[in-house]
Each structure stands twice: as structure tokens, then as C-alpha cells.
């Protein structure tokens, strides 16, 4: 066993060096509870390892292998296969786990089963997911021959949520699912699925819901005789009565698989049934391998990962000494204190998408390809957006770090308002990393010598000033040269005398 | 003080009450000149020395609030040059609006210290700009004493001048704004005020265009230095106007005022902040009007000389009526059409003390703008306030042109000083001058050794050979003697009056020193207190908090605090502030008031919109520092109520019985306000279950723990005076901050926020 594990980890190590498919890392911590036999899921583990992930298996109460130590994460992703566990090691307790995951950016796949505990359900409620009470399951009236009612098989398009982004479930998987309707096979199989209803949390993306003709109900006891984990909740009659479904949910309301991307692009996924990744349904006949693989690809930051490589803003000015070939120079933010009002300013942002298929070199940089979209928008904002404009794709660029990226560029005129402005690019699309870039700059008023020296509208004033000055000089000249000597003196004294007289 | 009076030159024997040594006239003149110089130097030295208490007690530090901005601006001026200073746009103030500093300040102070700094460096004195700034006020106080001496000499004689200079040097009313470290506009403005007045009096007396030009130049400097220049702008025209009304118009006045007005107005318009105000606001219209009036009067004078008397009378009447009507019509027309700005609110508040409280709470909220309490007159001026009317009375007795100036100054400034505390500063010089005149007259009368005799009236000229302007006194004196022969005959009478006078002078010095030392020498960023054993202790919470900010926050962090602390945060911590002491935008101040006055849920979006990272409150409840934010809180409420009357209402912050209380009976609005929560957060914990007593308000704070959701405590200073709270970011997974706080505390959700429990729709309800 040990040898196998060593070999596996060695294999994983080698494959990491070669591939590096996830944008954030390959280390996965898998927490498997004792009720679940890890070997029953070997196909799933193998598929992950084949994609280059290093798996570390631990029990829910093991204190070793902290997710994060000294502020550095030991694992990049987490798989929680612990539906029926109610007490965890300290670092895995929900109250500790959730902040750790969010702060350190650890992506997590949660696997549920009808034996899910209340503690786990209440953790999921933080994500605005309401799981059905334990001991309930997705049921069908038309089970497959030889299977119980809780073993639901259906066409993907019957269960796929209408707005699932292609980056989560790509077209190829959907295509394979479609062939199921033409009778080939390749159906989704959900054995003993615990359903949930996704709330209105904007970060939540429902992926798979219950197909028509299915509903949630109490887990049929007779059919679960072959379930290995049956013993756990056999004698739990009291809880079952308490948790009895108040209302049955079905169809689109009954979610089976949902994913979540946090504000800081940490991804989570919930799969309503551990059985979906079990070896007996992980076969070439079902669509589960493809579906789960594409799902984990998204959760573990392989697909739909968009990165802002650089942003820049500058003004174009006539070069004083002809430094650049076209007679203009870029003045970057280091060289001036801010833009002047009504100035033309150019903003650039470089976006790249992670490409999991590029396994050419060990360099992580090479795994990015230019990202081209046509709905990127730029705000120039101070409290409120003063300018809101689209920022078009301007071609590919190779950044200084050697990454090929898509460059977006916009030139616009700064509004006639001084203050601290922000260039904000906000691009939130489900299935992709949220792009939120904010660059602060200040817009300053004209300097005292930047106003035009002479303006046409002021010519009356110039004329007026000139005339008065000239008139004064003429008056002085007349006063000095035309006045009679005696008269001048007399006039001065006269007023003086008047003044004294009134006194 | 008073020059000994020698016996008459005619050789006639004068009876003396006490013997005086025989000194030749030249020696006397030389000695008195030397004495005057020495005394003036000593007075200046005393003026400087008494302002150094703060530096000796604490350290060479900039005081209070506004000086911190002036200091920061001076640093920019010195480090980056005059043009950079002129065009300085400060993006860290009034975030995110920014402040165009160069165009919104009176640069005189910074330019003055910048010049001093550069001169000293040119002379190879490597002085730090901070020390220049700290010492600027005492240095200029020394100059003020000199200017007061010159000014008073124009009014009376040199001995009065010296007395006035001594008063001015140490009077607390002036020291309050000019101790070392009090680097504010007033520090140089009072010197400029006195010197401008002196030059104006010289110009009006002599009709010298040279002096009036000098006066205008100093007026220009004054305009560049202090907004109070408007006082001069109205004082001088008023003086001229009264002179004209009294029929004392002369070519001297005409020359002096016309040169002063034209050059002074042009000079004042060079200050960017003032710009076209002198021709476009009502405050400056009096000066313009008097300028016009003088031209008319001079013109009438010329016409009168040329036209026969009879026609002149009717001509004059028509002309005066016409001119008055036209001028008034033009003024009204220009005002209504918006070319001339009407009186600003700040000015209205000078006439109606209740005006600001109703209409512009932002002005009323400043403690300096409160009406003056009567004890502060005695506190700031001591015996001078009693001598002041006597001095004004003496001016009436002589009533020369310059005495009119004193009278007008006294009347105007008495009113203003009663209306606003900060205008105490304006009345102080005239009080010193008048009191010196009264005191000097008393001293002179009783120190005069000449015993009245019956034959004295025959040679009145021989009694006193003194400075000009004193010629009337002996005559009046002699006439009195002739009438009833009253007078001071013996040495005992003299001593009986002189002894109390000298005693009161000593008391005055004692009082001034005491007030300076105890009331006006606190830097207010460092508080002095005493330990239980009586040893002095320093409460340094402000500086430690600002240091924390400087060292522990991001360089572009935005700090929201009440505007009083804006300059200090910028000066000490070099961080961006939302509002500061420049009273630049009412809406912005009201926004901060709203943040403080509303509950967390309302405040949070505002905080995030303004990118606020930290909130700073001053809380004095633990050690009894009464100048804290809760005592200013009602102003925040009032100011934000002015902008959002629907959301903030002042009555909601009082108890049902209308009391402003923080204890258990405080209103819910008060208890939910961010200000209350930040101030008393964890406060009862300090008392370990005992009664948590707020020592400022003497109220018991309820023990219920205060919960903060959208902010978290980041720093609290040693004595809890400064408390800094960090604003949380939005929750990463889209919960409300109260929910995420609850989760962090271990509360488990029983129900998700919006997801349906078990499905609510009926249509899918199939039974298993």
C-alpha cells in the first residue's frame, strides 16, 4: 500500500512538473470519512491524478496536514468527502475552515450524501444553499431495471440548468450527453442524491437539477440494503421523523450540483451524491466521468480562469526632444503627479486566460493565452462614474513576463473636474474569474501657467486696460506741460484751504 | 517711565515736590533714546520668552489643528519650491474630491516662513523648517511689540508707546494665538495689522504717498496672510469716512487714502485665493465707496472754487442726491445681477449671533466662533479692560485725526470681540494702546514733580518742553490751576496713587505669566496631567495613535474622522482623510456626520462608497478628556441634518425627557449610532463587572455588550482617547456582514438566506 502511495505521489510529482494544469496549484487534500471506503472511488482519484493533481488523503479528525501553516497554504484544493461526519479536526471545523478557504484561496469540492449532518448543512447555508434534510434522496418512479428508486439516471440536457456557463460544462460534454437521447447510452447517473435548493446569492451558479419525473422523498429503506453506509443511520429513527420533508421538491428546484465563485475568485462546488464519483457509475457507459471532470476542472481553477496581467494609463504628449520615433512619448504614472483636467488619457489592460491544455513546458507563464471578449467596460469614477465606456480589444501583446495576453485600450478625455479618480474595470461573468481592477489617479486643475496667455474673448479688456494706461500717461503729460505754473500751485492750496476751513 | 521734567529754561524757579538731578538737555535726549531702545529690546525679549513655555515644558512641536496644515504646506513650499506650492493639488485631503491648496489658502504665513528659512540657509544656518515654524509666532510677537510702540507714539508720546509695547508683549489675549508652535495665520497677522495701521496713521498725518504706499504693501502682505484683513479693509475707509463727515477732509487724507486704496487693492488681488473678491463682494464695497466719495468730495472742492456760492449750494445738493442715487442703484443692480456677491453667512453671524446656529451649523460648530463669555475679557486682558475706556476717553479729549482712528477701532472691535471668541485677538491691540494711554497719563500726572503755584499761568511755555502733541496738556493744566488751584502738592498724594498703580502693573505681569503658563501653552496634541503623587505626566495618546496609523496602515488608506482631526492625521500620519479643518465642502462634512450618526447598516454603503478604510474617534470618557467626539456629536447630527433632514433628526438623539445622555436611558437612535458604538465598544469590560462610568459625562454606561458588524476595532490608545476602527470589506461570499460576524462567532444558520426550505411550490408535490 505504502509502495503504491509512494509511487502514486511520485507519478503525481512527475506529472505536475510536466503539466501544471491548474492555475493555482496541483496539491489536493482529500478528506475522506471512515464510513466511506476510499478504494470504491479509485477511478475518480485516478482521473484526478492523471490530470496532474497530487492527492493527499486524510481522515476528518486528523490534526496533521494543516491546510495553511504560517500563512502559506499547504494545499491548493480540497475535496471534502465527509457528509456524515459531525466532528472534525480543529482546522477543519466549519468555523475555522470557511475563513481559511476564503483567505488562502483554497478551492473546495464538497460531496454530499443522504446521511449529511446538520453541522455540514449549516455550513452550506452560509453559501445560501439549503440542503434537504438527511435521509432524503432524489427518487424516481421509473428506476432502471434492477435498481432502486433512488438510483436516478437521466439525460444531461434534462437536468442541466439553463444558464450554466460553457466554461463549467463545455460543449463537448453536452454533446456527449445529447447522444444519450438518441439511445446510445451516456446518461448521468445519480445514486442516492441529496438535493438542495440554491438561493439567490449572485455568486452561486446552479449546474445540475433534478430531471423531470423525479422528486425528493425519504430514502427508501428496503432499497438501500446494498448500501455500505446504511448502518450509520439505521437506528436514527428519531432524527428521521424530525427531519421529515415538509414539502417535496422536484424538477428545477431540486438542485443536485451547484458551484460557487467567491468575490476573490475562490471556487466551491457541491455534488449532491457521493455515489456520482463511485467506481460503479464511473464507467464508459455513463456521462459521470466527463461531467465530474469538467466540473472539477472548473472548481480547481483549470478552466474559466482569467487573469489581469497588467494595467497601464498614460497620456500622450509631444516629445520635447524627439525621444520616440513618432514624435510622441508616453508619460507613465511615475513621471507626473496626475492628469490635468480635459486631457486625453489612454488606459490599457491586458487580460489572459489560463489554458489547461497547454502542457508544453513547465513554465506556468506559457499556460496563458490571450483572452478576447467584446463586452469589457471601463469606468472613470469619482464617487460616481464620470465616464463609462467600452474598452475594445486592441490585439495581442507579450508582457514583460513572457505571457501572451489580449490587450484592451481606450483613449478618452478626462472630465473637467479635479479630484481622485479611479479607472475601474469590472467584468463579472458567471463561469469566469471576476475581473475587478481599480487604478487610482488624481486629476489636477490647470497649473497657473497652463492657461492660455491671450484669449480672444478678453480683447475688450486688453483694449480697456491699454486705453486707461495710455490715457493716464497723456493726462500726466498734459498736467505737467500745459498747466500754468501759478494756477497749479493755487489749485493745490485752494483745496487745502477749503479743507481747513470746514474744520 | 515718564521723562523727568527739568526746570524751565527761563531760569524761573519752579517748586518741585521732590528733587531731580540736573542733567543737560543733550544728555537727556541721548539717554532717553538709549533707554527707549533698551527698553524696547527688553520688551521684545520678554514677549518672545513668555511664549516659550510650551517648548520648555514639552518640546518644539506644532500645536493644535490648523498649524499642522500650515506646517505641512510650509514643508511643500520649502521642499518643492514656490511654484509647486502655488499649484499644489492635495489628493489626500477631502477624498476623493481633493483640494486645490494653492488657490484656497492664504499663503502669507508659509511664504514668510519659507523666506526666513531660505535666508537662514543662505547664511549657512541649517535650521529645520519645523523650528522656523515653531518659533515664527514668538519672533513676530517681538515685532508686534515694536509696531505697537510705533503706533502708540503716533497717538501719544514715546513713554506711552513703551508702555503699550510692554502690554502688547505679554497680554494673554495675544499670547493665546502666538505661543511657540502655534503656527497659525494670526501669528504674523497681528504684527501686520499693527504695522499697517501705524503706516496708515503716518500717511494720514503727513499726507505722504510714500507712507501710504508702504501701508498698502503691508496691507497686501496682511491679505496674503489672514482672512481677517477685511477688518483693515473696512477700518481704514471708515476712518476716512468719519473724517470726511466731520469736515476734516484734506488733501493729506485724499492722497493717503487714494494711494492706499489703489495700491492695496491691486496688491490684495495678487493673492490667488482673494482674486477678484475686492471688486466683487460686499465686504469690500465700503472701501470702494469711500474711494469714490473722496473723489467726489475733491471734485466738489474744485467746483466750489470755480462756481459762485449761491449756485454752488443748489449744485451741491443736486449733485449729492444724484451721486448717491446712482451709486446705490448701481450697487443694488450689481448685487442682484450677481456681479457683487452678497454678504456671506459668516458675516451675518457677526450681526446676529443666532444666525449661524440656524443656518450654517458648520460655522457655529467651531468653538472659536462662539460668543465670548465675559470672564474671558478679564482673563485675556486683566486690568487693561478697565483702563481701556479711560484711554478711549482721553482720545475724545484730544480728538486729533489719529485719535478718531482709535475710537473707531475701539468701538468696532469691542462689538466683534463680544460676538466671537476668536476676535478677542482683534480687540487686544487697541485695548493695549488705550490702556497705555490712560495709564501713562495717570503716571505722568502723578510723577510730575512740579507743584502748582499761582504764578504758573504766566509762563505756560516754560513748564514742559516735551514732544509735540503734548502742548495742550500744560495749558489745560494751568487753566485748571488758575480756576481753583487744585493740584498735587505733596509727596504723600503722589505715593498714594503711584504705589497701587505700580502694584497693579506687577499683578498684571504676574497674571499674564500665569495665564500663559497654564492656559495657553498646551500643544493640545500632548496633554499634560498629574499623577496621583503630583508628579507631572504626559498623555500622549494622539501622537501614539497617529504613529500607529502611519506605521500600520496602507499608504493610500483613507481615514474618516470628524473634521477637527483631518489636518493632524495628514500632518502626523500622512494618510488620506475624508474631511479636514479647511471647511471646504459642507456636504462632505455632513457625510462624515451621517456616518457617525446613523446605524451600521446605513453607514456601511457610505463608508464603502468613499473607500474608507479606518474610522477614528476621540473618546475622553475614560480619563475625562472633555473635548471628545461625543461632546461634538450634536454638531455632527445638526450638520448632517442640514443635508438629509429626512434621515437624521436631532430630537431622536435625546432621551424622551430631552436630555443628552449616554446611560441606559439613551435613545435607541443614539445607541445604534456608530459614534456611540465606537466610543463605548468594550468600554464596560474595563470595569470588570462594576459600574462603567463615563468620566466626562458622569454617566453610567449600560453593561450590554456592543456588537460591531461592519467595522472592527483596530487600535485603541493607552488612555482610550483615540480609537481606530477598521472598516470590513464586503463579505467574500455575499453574506451580509452581520451574518458573517455571527458565523465567525459560531452561530449556525437554521435557515439559509434566500433558498427555500424543502421547496415551497405546490406544483411538484408528489408523494413518495
- Report the run of H or E that residue B78 belongs to, with start and end: helix B66-80
Q: Cα–Cα distance between A62 and A159 in angstroms, integer?
A: 37
B382 pLDDT band, cuts 50/70/90, is confident
More confidently predicted of B480 and B746: B746
Question: With an 8 Å Cβ cutoff, are A444 and B89 in contact?
Answer: yes
3-class secondary-structure state, position B693: strand
Tens digit of pLDDT for each residue in B631-670?
889 888 988 888 888 888 888 889 888 888 888 888 888 9
Q: Are strands B99-100 and B89-90 parallel, antiparallel or unpaired?
A: antiparallel
Alpha carbon of residue B661 to chain centroid: 32
- Condensed to tens digits (0 to 9), the pLDDT of residues A297-316 reads 999 998 889 989 888 888 87
Q: What is the pLDDT of residues B6-40, one digit of tens each?
A: 444 444 567 777 888 888 899 999 999 999 999 99
Which of A262, A264, A420 has the CB atom closest to B95's CB atom? A420
Instruction: Name every chain B residue with its beta carbon within 8 A of the beta carbon of A266.
Output: 732
Helices assigned H by DSSP within B156-284:
158-170, 172-175, 185-206, 209-225, 229-245, 251-268, 277-280
Of B89, B743, B757, the CB nearest to A418: B89
Among A96-100, B299-303, B480-484, B675-679, whose mean pLDDT is lowest? Answer: B480-484
**Sequence-ordered strand ranges (E) for B717-764:** 722-727
With 0-12 / 13-18 / 19 or more C-beta atoms within 10 angstroms meaning exposed / middle / buried, residue B179 is buried
Residues A263/A204, Cβ–Cβ less than 8 Å: no
B733, A102: Cβ pair inside 8 Å? yes
- Residues B292, B298, B302, B304, Cα dihedral to 10°: 90
Q: A498, A500, A501, A502: which to substitute to probe chain B, counting the most B Cβ within 10 Å?
A: A498
Strands B692-694, B576-577: pairing is unpaired
- Region B123-134: what's the mean pLDDT? 92
Identify the top-confidence range among A352-361, B17-26, B251-260, B682-691: B251-260
Nearest to B251 among A217, A337, A495 (CB): A495
Which backbone phi and psi does B350 adopt, to 5 degrees?
-75, -30
| A253 chain-B contacts, CB cut-off 8 A | 756, 759, 761, 764
CA distance B508 to chain A (A): 41
For domain A2-299, give the fold: Rossmann fold (3.40.50)
pLDDT at B649 (0 to 100): 87
Class of domain B538-730: alpha beta
pLDDT at residue B136 in the model: 93
Do B98 and A128 lie within an 8 Å CB cutoff?
no
Q: What is the pLDDT of residue A484?
A: 60
Judged against a pLDDT cut of 80, whether residue A405 lies above it is answered with yes
- The span from the CA of B356 to the CA of B348, in Å, is 8
A439: nearest CA partner in chain B: B556
Distance from B329 to chain A by nearest Cα, in Å?
24
CB-nearest partner of A264 from B83, B609, B732: B732
Rounded to 10 degrees, what is the CA torsion of A227, A228, A229, A234? 70
Q: Which CATH fold topology does A306-444 show?
A: Immunoglobulin-like (2.60.40)
What tens digit of pLDDT does each residue of A182-224 get? 666 678 888 888 999 988 888 999 999 988 888 888 876 544 4
CB contact under 8 A, B768 and A218: yes
Q: What is the pLDDT of residues B534-563, one digit of tens each?
A: 777 888 889 999 999 999 999 889 999 998
- HEC secondary structure over A361-420: CCCCHHHEEECCCCCCEEEEEECEEEEEEECCEEEEEECCCCCEEEEEEEEEECCCCCEE
CA distance, residue B90 to nearest chain A CA (Å): 9
Name the residue of chain A whose CA is nearest to B97's CA.
Answer: A419
Closest CA–CA distance from residue B262 to any residue of chain A (Å): 14
CB contact under 8 A, A264 and B87: no
Comparing B184-193, B342-351, B520-529, the range with the smallest average pLDDT is B342-351
Which residues in chain A are closer than 8 Å to B584, comparing Cβ atoms? none
Render pLDDT for A411-420 as a digit per residue (tens, 0 to 9): 999 999 889 9
Within 8 A of B248 by CB-CB distance, chain A residues are 499, 502-503
Quote the pLDDT of residue A10.
44
> Are residues B751 and A442, on separate chains, in Cβ contact within 8 Å?
no
Q: How many CB pairs under 8 A join A and B?
A: 182
| Pick among B304, B733, B742, B745 to test the A interface (most A CBs inside 10 A) | B733
Residue B96: cis peptide before it, omega within 30 degrees of 0: yes
Residue matched to cell numbers 538737555: B25
Highest mean pLDDT among A282-286, A354-358, B39-43: B39-43
Q: Would you say residue B255 has pLDDT above 70?
A: yes
Q: Does residue A261 sit in helix, strand or coil?
A: strand
pLDDT value of residue A380? 93
Contacts of A420 in chain B (CB under 8 A): 91, 95-98
Look up the ipTM and state it: 0.81
Indicate whether B580 pLDDT > 50: yes
User: Smallest CA–CA separation between B93 and chain A, in Å?
Assistant: 10
pLDDT at A31: 92
CB-CB under 8 Å, A382 with B97: yes
**pLDDT at position A360, please?**
46
Q: Are A379 and A426 in contact (CB under 8 A)?
A: yes
Helices B285-306/B229-245 angle, 10° precision: 30
Task: Give the three-class secondary structure for B182.
Answer: coil
Nearest to A199 among B98, B752, B768 (CB): B752
Report residue B108 as a C-alpha cell: 502669507
CA distance B4 to B2: 6
**CB-based burial label for A280 (10 Å; 0-12, 13-18, 19+):** exposed
Which residues, in sequence order, are CB contacts of A260 under 8 Å at separation 6+? A127, A201, A203, A204, A205, A267, A268, A269, A270, B733
pLDDT number for residue B525: 82
CA B150 to chain centre: 23
Q: Which of A200, A246, A263 is the closest to B758 by Cβ?
A: A246
Q: Give every CB contact of residue B647 below 8 A, 6+ residues apart in sequence.
A: B594, B598, B602
Q: ∠ CA(A322), CA(A324), CA(A330), 5° rounding?
A: 110
Numbered ranges of CATH 3.40.50.12610 in chain B: 538-730
Mean pLDDT, chain B, whole residue set: 84
pLDDT, greater one: B44 or B765: B44
Give residue A184's pLDDT: 61
Q: Any idea where the domains of chain A sit in the sequence? A: 2-299, 306-444, 456-487
**A212 to chain B: nearest residue by CA?**
B764
Of A246, A419, A503, the CB nearest to B98: A419
How far is Cα B229 from Cα B189, in angstroms, rounded to an integer?
Answer: 8
Amino acid at each position: 500500500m505504502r509502495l503504491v502511495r509512494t509511487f502514486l505521489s511520485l507519478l503525481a510529482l512527475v506529472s505536475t512538473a510536466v503539466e501544471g494544469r491548474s492555475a493555482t496549484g496541483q496539491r489536493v487534500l482529500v478528506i475522506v470519512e471512515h464510513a466511506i471506503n476510499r478504494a470504491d472511488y479509485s477511478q475518480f482519484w485516478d482521473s484526478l491524478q492523471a490530470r496532474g493533481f497530487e492527492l493527499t488523503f486524510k481522515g476528518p479528525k486528523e490534526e496533521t496536514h494543516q491546510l495553511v501553516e504560517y500563512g502559506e497554504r499547504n494545499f491548493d484544493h480540497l475535496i471534502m468527502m465527509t457528509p456524515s461526519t459531525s466532528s472534525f479536526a480543529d482546522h477543519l471545523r466549519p468555523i475555522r475552515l470557511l475563513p481559511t478557504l476564503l483567505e488562502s484561496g483554497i478551492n473546495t469540492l464538497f460531496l454530499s450524501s443522504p446521511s449529511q449532518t446538520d453541522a455540514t448543512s449549516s455550513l452550506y447555508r452560509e453559501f445560501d444553499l439549503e440542503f434537504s434534510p438527511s435521509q432524503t434522496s432524489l427518487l424516481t418512479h421509473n428506476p432502471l431495471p434492477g435498481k432502486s428508486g433512488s438510483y436516478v439516471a437521466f439525460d444531461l440536457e434534462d437536468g442541466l440548468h439553463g444558464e450554466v456557463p460553457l466554461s463549467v460544462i463545455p460543449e463537448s460534454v453536452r454533446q456527449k450527453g445529447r447522444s444519450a437521447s438518441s439511445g446510445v447510452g451516456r446518461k448521468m447517473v445519480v445514486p442516492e442524491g441529496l438535493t438542495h435548493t440554491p438561493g439567490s446569492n449572485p455568486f452561486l451558479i446552479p449546474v445540475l437539477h433534478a430531471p423531470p419525473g423525479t422528486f425528493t422523498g425519504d430514502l427508501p429503506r428496503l432499497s438501500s440494503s446494498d448500501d455500505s453506509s446504511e448502518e450509520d443511520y439505521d437506528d436514527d429513527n428519531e432524527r428521521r421523523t424530525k427531519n421529515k420533508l415538509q414539502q417535496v421538491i422536484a424538477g428545477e428546484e431540486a438542485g443536485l450540483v451547484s458551484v460557487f465563485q467567491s468575490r476573490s475568485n475562490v471556487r466551491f462546488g457541491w455534488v449532491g451524491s457521493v455515489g456520482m464519483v463511485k467506481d460503479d457509475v464511473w464507467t464508459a457507459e455513463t456521462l459521470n466521468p466527463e461531467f465530474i471532470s469538467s466540473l472539477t476542472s472548473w472548481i480547481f481553477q483549470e478552466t474559466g480562469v482569467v487573469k489581469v496581467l497588467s494595467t497601464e494609463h498614460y497620456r500622450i504628449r509631444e516629445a520635447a526632444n524627439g525621444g520616440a520615433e513618432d514624435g510622441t512619448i508616453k508619460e507613465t504614472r511615475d513621471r507626473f503627479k496626475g492628469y490635468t483636467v480635459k486631457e486625453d488619457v489612454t488606459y490599457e489592460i491586458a487580460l489572459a486566460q489560463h489554458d489547461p491544455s497547454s502542457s508544453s513546458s513547465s513554465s506556468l507563464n506559457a499556460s496563458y493565452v490571450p483572452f478576447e471578449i467584446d463586452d469589457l467596460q471601463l469606468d472613470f469614477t469619482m464617487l460616481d462614474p464620470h465616464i463609462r465606456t467600452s474598452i475594445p480589444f486592441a490585439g495581442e501583446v507579450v508582457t514583460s513576463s513572457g505571457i501572451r495576453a489580449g490587450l484592451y485600450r481606450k483613449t478618452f478625455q478626462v472630465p473637467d473636474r479635479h479630484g481622485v479618480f479611479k479607472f475601474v474595470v469590472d467584468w463579472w461573468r458567471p463561469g469566469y474569474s471576476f475581473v475587478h481592477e481599480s487604478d487610482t489617479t488624481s486629476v489636477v486643475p490647470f497649473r497657473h501657467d497652463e492657461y492660455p496667455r491671450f484669449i480672444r474673448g478678453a480683447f475688450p479688456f486688453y483694449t480697456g486696460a491699454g486705453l486707461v494706461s495710455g490715457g493716464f500717461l497723456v493726462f500726466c503729460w498734459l498736467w505737467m506741460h500745459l498747466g500754468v505754473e501759478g494756477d497749479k500751485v493755487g489749485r493745490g492750496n485752494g483745496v487745502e484751504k477749503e479743507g481747513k476751513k470746514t474744520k | 517711565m515718564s521723562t523727568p521734567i527739568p526746570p524751565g529754561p527761563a531760569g524761573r524757579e519752579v517748586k518741585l515736590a521732590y528733587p531731580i538731578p540736573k542733567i543737560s538737555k543733550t544728555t537727556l535726549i541721548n539717554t532717553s533714546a538709549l533707554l527707549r531702545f533698551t527698553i524696547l529690546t527688553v520688551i521684545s525679549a520678554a514677549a518672545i520668552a513668555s511664549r516659550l513655555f510650551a517648548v520648555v515644558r514639552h518640546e518644539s512641536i506644532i500645536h493644535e489643528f490648523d498649524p499642522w496644515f500650515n506646517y505641512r504646506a510650509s514643508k511643500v513650499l520649502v521642499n518643492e519650491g514656490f511654484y509647486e506650492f502655488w499649484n499644489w493639488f492635495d489628493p489626500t485631503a477631502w477624498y476623493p474630491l481633493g483640494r486645490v491648496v494653492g488657490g484656497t489658502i492664504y499663503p502669507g504665513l508659509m511664504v514668510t516662513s519659507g523666506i526666513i528659512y531660505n535666508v537662514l540657509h543662505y547664511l549657512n544656518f541649517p535650521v529645520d523648517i519645523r523650528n522656523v515654524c515653531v518659533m515664527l509666532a514668538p519672533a513676530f510677537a517681538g515685532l508686534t511689540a515694536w509696531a505697537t510702540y510705533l503706533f502708540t507714539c503716533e497717538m501719544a508720546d514715546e513713554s506711552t508707546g513703551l508702555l503699550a509695547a510692554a502690554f502688547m508683549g505679554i497680554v494673554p489675549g495675544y499670547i493665546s494665538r502666538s505661543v511657540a508652535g502655534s503656527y497659525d495665520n494670526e501669528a504674523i497677522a497681528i504684527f501686520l495689522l499693527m504695522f499697517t495701521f501705524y503706516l496708515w496713521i503716518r500717511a494720514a498725518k503727513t499726507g505722504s504717498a510714500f507712507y501710504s504706499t508702504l501701508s498698502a504693501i503691508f496691507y497686501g502682505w496682511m491679505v496674503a496672510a489672514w482672512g481677517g484683513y477685511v477688518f483693515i479693509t473696512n477700518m481704514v475707509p471708515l476712518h476716512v469716512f468719519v473724517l470726511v463727515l466731520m469736515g476734516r477732509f484734506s488733501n493729506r487724507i485724499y492722497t493717503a487714502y487714494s494711494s492706499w486704496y489703489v495700491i492695496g487693492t491691486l496688491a490684495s488681488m495678487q493673492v490667488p485665493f482673494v482674486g477678484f473678491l475686492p471688486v466683487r463682494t460686499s465686504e469690500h464695497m465700503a472701501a470702494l465707496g469711500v474711494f469714490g466719495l473722496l473723489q467726489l468730495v475733491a471734485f466738489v472742492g474744485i467746483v466750489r472754487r470755480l462756481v459762485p456760492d449761491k449756485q454752488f449750494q443748489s449744485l451741491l445738493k443736486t449733485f449729492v442726491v444724484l451721486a448717491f442715487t446712482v451709486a446705490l442703484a448701481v450697487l443694488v443692480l450689481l448685487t442682484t445681477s450677481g456681479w457683487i456677491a452678497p454678504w456671506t453667512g459668516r458675516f451675518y453671524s457677526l450681526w446676529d449671533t443666532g444666525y449661524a446656529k440656524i443656518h450654517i451649523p458648520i460655522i457655529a460648530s467651531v468653538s472659536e466662533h462662539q460668543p465670548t463669555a465675559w470672564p474671558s475679557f478679564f482673563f485675556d486682558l486683566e486690568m487693561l479692560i478697565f483702563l481701556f475706556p479711560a484711554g478711549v476717553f482721553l482720545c475724545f479729549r484730544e480728538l486729533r485725526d489719529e485719535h478718531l482712528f482709535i475710537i473707531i477701532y475701539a468701538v468696532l472691535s469691542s462689538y466683534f470681540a463680544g460676538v466671537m471668541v476668536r476676535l478677542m485677538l482683534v480687540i487686544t491691540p487697541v485695548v493695549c494702546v488705550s490702556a497705555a494711554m490712560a495709564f501713562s497719563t495717570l503716571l505722568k500726572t502723578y510723577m510730575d514733580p512740579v507743584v502748582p503755584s499761582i504764578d504758573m499761568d504766566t509762563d505756560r511755555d516754560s513748564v514742559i518742553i516735551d514732544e509735540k502733541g503734548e502742548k495742550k496738556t500744560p495749558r489745560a493744566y494751568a487753566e485748571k490751576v488758575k480756576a481753583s488751584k487744585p493740584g498735587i502738592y505733596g509727596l504723600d498724594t503722589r505715593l498714594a496713587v503711584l504705589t497701587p498703580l505700580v502694584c497693579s502693573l506687577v499683578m498684571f505681569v504676574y497674571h499674564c505669566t500665569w495665564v500663559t503658563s497654564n492656559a495657553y501653552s498646551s500643544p493640545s496634541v500632548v496633554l499634560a496631567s498629574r499623577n496621583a503623587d503630583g508628579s507631572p505626566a504626559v498623555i500622549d495618546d494622539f501622537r501614539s495613535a497617529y504613529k500607529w496609523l502611519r506605521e500600520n496602515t496602507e499608504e493610500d488608506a483613507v481615514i474618516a474622522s470628524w473634521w477637527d482631526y483631518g489636518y493632524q492625521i495628514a500632518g502626523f500620519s500622512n494618510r488620506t482623510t475624508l474631511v479636514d479643518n479647511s471647511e471646504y465642502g459642507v456636504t462632505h462634512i455632513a457625510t462624515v456626520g451621517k456616518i457617525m450618526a446613523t446605524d451600521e447598516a446605513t453607514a456601511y454603503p457610505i463608508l464603502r462608497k468613499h473607500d474608507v478604510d479606518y474610522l477614528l474617534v476621540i473618546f475622553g470618557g475614560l480619563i475625562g478628556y472633555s473635548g471628545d467626539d461625543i461632546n461634538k456629536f450634536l454638531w455632527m447630527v445638526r450638520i448632517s441634518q442640514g443635508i438629509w433632514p429626512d434621515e437624521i433628526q436631532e430630537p431622536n438623539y435625546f432621551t424622551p425627557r430631552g436630555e443628552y445622555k449616554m446611560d441606559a436611558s439613551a435613545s435607541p437612535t443614539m445607541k445604534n449610532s456608530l459614534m456611540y458604538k465606537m466610543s463605548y465598544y468594550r468600554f464596560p469590560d474595563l470595569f470588570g463587572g462594576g459600574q462603567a462610568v463615563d468620566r466626562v459625562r458622569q454617566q453610567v454606561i449600560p453593561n450590554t455588550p456592543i456588537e460591531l458588524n461592519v467595522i472592527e476595532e483596530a487600535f485603541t490608545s493607552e488612555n482610550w482617547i483615540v480609537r481606530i476602527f477598521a472598516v470590513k470589506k464586503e463579505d467574500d461570499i455575499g453574506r451580509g456582514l452581520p451574518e458573517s460576524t455571527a458565523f465567525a462567532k459560531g452561530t449556525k444558520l437554521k435557515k439559509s438566506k434566500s433558498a427555500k426550505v424543502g421547496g415551497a411550490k405546490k406544483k411538484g408535490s408528489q408523494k413518495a
